[in-house]
A and B are shown apart, each in its own frame.
Chain A
Amino acid sequence: MNSLPRIRLEKRMDTPRWLSVATPILSVLAALLVIAIIFGLLGVNPLVAYGRIFTGAFGSAYGLSETVTKAIPLMLAGVGLVVAFRARVYNIGAEGQLLVGAICATGVALFVPGIPDGLRLPAMFVAGALGGALWALIPAVLKARLRIDEVLTSLMTVYIASELVNYLVYGPWKGPGEWGFPYTDKFPLAAQIPRIGITRIHYPTLILALLAAVLAYWLVQRTRWGFEIRVTGENPEAARYAGMNYLQTAMLVMALSGALAGMAGVGEVAGIHYRLRYPQGISPGYGFTAIIVAWLARLNPLGVILTSLLIGGLLVGGDAIQLAMGLPSATVYLFNGMILLFVLGGDLFTRYRIRMEFPGRAAAAPVRLEREEVG
Chain B
Amino acid sequence: MSIWAYIFSVLQAAIPAGTPLVYGTLGEVTAERSGVVNLGVEGMMIMGAVTAFGVAQATGNAFLAIAAAALVGGLFALIHAFASITLRVNQVVSGLALTMLGQGISGMVGKRFIGMPPRVQLKPVPIPGLSDLPVLGPLLFQHDLLVYIGLLMVPVLWFLFYRTRWGINLRSVGESPATADAMGVNVFQVRYLAVFFGGLMAGVGGAYLSIVYAPAWIEGMTAGIGWIVIALTIFAMWDPVRGLLGAYLFGSVRVLQYRLQGLGISPPLLNMLPFILTILVLMFSAGEAMRKRLGAPAALMQPYTREER
A binding-site residues for B, Cβ under 8 Å:
2, 7-9, 38, 42, 44, 90, 92, 138, 142, 146-149, 151-153, 155-157, 159-160, 163-164, 166-167, 170-171, 288, 291, 295, 326-338, 340-341, 344-345, 347-348, 366-369, 371, 373-375
Give min CB distance, A248 to chain B, whole Å. 19
Closest CB-CB distance, A33 to chain B, in whole Å? Answer: 15
Taking the closest CB of chain A, its distance from the CB of B149, in whole angstroms, is: 27
* Bound form: Cα–Cα A8–B304 in Å: 12
CB–CB A42/B279 < 8 A? no
- Identify the closest chain B residue to A291 (Cβ): B96
Residue numbers in A under 8 Å from B234 (CB-CB): 149, 152
Known: A148-B286, A156-B275. A333 touches B100 (CB 8 A): yes
Give chain B residues whose Cβ lies under 8 Å from the Cβ of A337.
43, 97-104
Closest CB-CB distance, A47 to chain B, in whole Å?
A: 17
Task: Find out whether the CB atom of B97 lies under 8 angstroms from the CB atom of A328.
Answer: no
**A64 to nearest B CB, angstroms?**
25
User: In the complex, what residues of B have CB within 8 A of residue A338's CB?
Assistant: 97, 101, 104
Q: For residues 234 through 286 of chain B, which have their beta carbon under 8 Å from a beta carbon of chain A? A: 234, 266-269, 271-272, 275-276, 278-279, 282-283, 286
- The complex places the Cα of A42 from the Cα of B105 at a distance, in Å, of 9
| Nearest CB in chain A: distance from B111 CB, A | 5
User: Is B89 close to A, CB under 8 A?
Assistant: yes
Q: Which residues of A contact B308 (CB under 8 A)?
A: 369, 371
Please name all residues of chain B whose beta carbon is closer than 8 Å to the beta carbon of A371 when the two chains form the complex: 308
State A340–B305 Cα separation when bound (angstroms). Answer: 24
Bound CA–CA A2/B186 (angstroms): 10
Inter-chain contact B83/A336, CB cutoff 8 Å: no
Which B residues between 65 and 110 are near A, CB-CB below 8 angstroms? 79, 83, 86-90, 92-94, 96-110
- The answer to whether B83 touches A344 (Cβ under 8 A) is yes
- Chain B, Cβ-Cβ closest to A366: B307
B105 and A334: CB pair below 8 A? yes
Q: Are A328 and B108 in contact (CB under 8 A)?
A: yes
Q: How far is the CA of A138 from the CA of B103 in the complex (A)?
A: 27
Chain A residues with CB below 8 A from B99, complex form: 337
Is the pair A348, B305 in contact by a Cβ cutoff of 8 Å? Answer: no
Decide yes or no whether B167 CB sits under 8 A from chain A. Answer: no
Q: List 5 A-B contacts (CB under 8 A).
A: A38-B108, A142-B279, A333-B101, A340-B96, A366-B307
